[in-house]
Every structure is written in C-alpha cells, then in structure tokens.
C-alpha cells in the first residue's frame, strides 16, 4: 500500500500489506442451569429496582448488601413504579475465574420500562463447592 511520506505529500513509500486480523475467540458456553438461575436473579433484582416488586423479597443469601442498598437508593431518589411495559431486552453473560474456589459471572444488557431504556450490569459469584449463585453487584445506568 502506498503511504504519503510526512512532510512530502507528493512522494509516497510502498509499505508491506498489513497482517490479517486475528479470528475472534470462541465463545464460552455457560451451563443451562447456571444461565437460568442468573437470569432469574437479575430479573427479580431489576423488577425491584424499578418498583414492580417489594425489596423485602431480596434475601441476604442471594443478594449482597451492596445490591439491596443500590435498589433502595434508586427507589428513594425517583425510580417510580411503572407497571406498564416492563421488558428486559437482552442478557449477555461473560464468565471469568476469580479464584480456585469461585467463578465470577458478568451479566449485562438493557431493559425498557415505559418509554425509558436503561442499561444494567451485574456480577454474580458461584462457589465451586456450593451450587448457589449470589449477586455481588448491580448497577442500573
């Protein structure tokens, strides 16, 4: 490919062809039971965050204090219940190993409530010794 030489716009130099783009990485498959449980946890948390369910259903074994605080803060500062058209548009999952005892799962996507469209992100932790998932963080953006 011919590239102009800096400062000399008339002269050009022949550069070798660029290397091919690396192929995308293979997607990591998440087992169905983990994906189903993660979807349920996120759905319940988002419905509480938008005021469709009471926050008392968020059990301490499944939802961290940070998640419950974020939801209560949203509800106190203007997130009103809009009972029409609550729809979670997408779920995206990314797994990464945090340590030998636990696996970290990132969940993100978008949600529509009425005429609003919001993004969300959540982190779930699964212990390798226990089958239960726990939501560590939730952010509605």
User: Which residues, 6 or more positions from 32, have their beta carbon under 8 angstroms from its beta carbon?
Assistant: none
pLDDT digits 0-9 by tens, 87-116 = 999 999 998 876 778 889 999 999 998 888
State residue 25's pLDDT score.
78
Closest CA to 15 of 4, 24, 6: 4
pLDDT digits 0-9 by tens, 20-56 = 788 887 877 888 988 999 999 999 999 999 888 999 9
Kind plus residue range of the DSSP H or E element containing 97: strand 92-97
Q: Quote the tokens at residue 99.
A: 């340590």
Given a contact cutoff of 8 angstroms between Cβ atoms, the answer to whether 133 and 34 are in contact is: yes
Is pLDDT above 80 for 3? Answer: no
- Residue extents of the structural domains in the chain: 30-140
For the beta carbon of residue 135, count every other beta carbon within 10 angstroms: 23
CATH assignment, 30-140: 3.10.450
Is pLDDT above 80 for 68? Answer: yes
Distance CA 90, CA 109 (A): 5
Given a contact cutoff of 8 angstroms between Cβ atoms, the answer to whether 122 and 49 are in contact is: no
Q: Which residues pair with 120 in a beta bridge?
A: 109, 140
Residues composing the chain: 141
Distance CA 91, CA 78 (A): 25
């Amino acid at each position: 490919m011919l590239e102009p030489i800096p400062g000399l716009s008339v002269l050009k130099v022949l550069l070798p062809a660029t290397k091919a783009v690396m192929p995308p990485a293979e997607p990591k498959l998440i087992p169905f039971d983990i994906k189903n449980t993660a979807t349920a946890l996120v759905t319940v948390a988002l419905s509480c965050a938008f005021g469709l369910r009471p926050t008392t259903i968020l059990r301490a074994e499944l939802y961290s204090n940070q998640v419950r605080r974020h939801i209560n803060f949203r509800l106190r500062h203007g997130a009103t219940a809009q009972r029409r058209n609550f729809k979670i548009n997408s779920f995206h999952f990314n797994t990464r190993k945090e340590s030998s005892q636990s696996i970290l799962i990132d969940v993100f996507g978008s949600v529509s409530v009425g005429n609003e469209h919001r993004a969300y992100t959540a982190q779930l932790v699964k212990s390798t010794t226990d089958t239960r998932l726990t939501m560590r963080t939730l952010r509605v953006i």
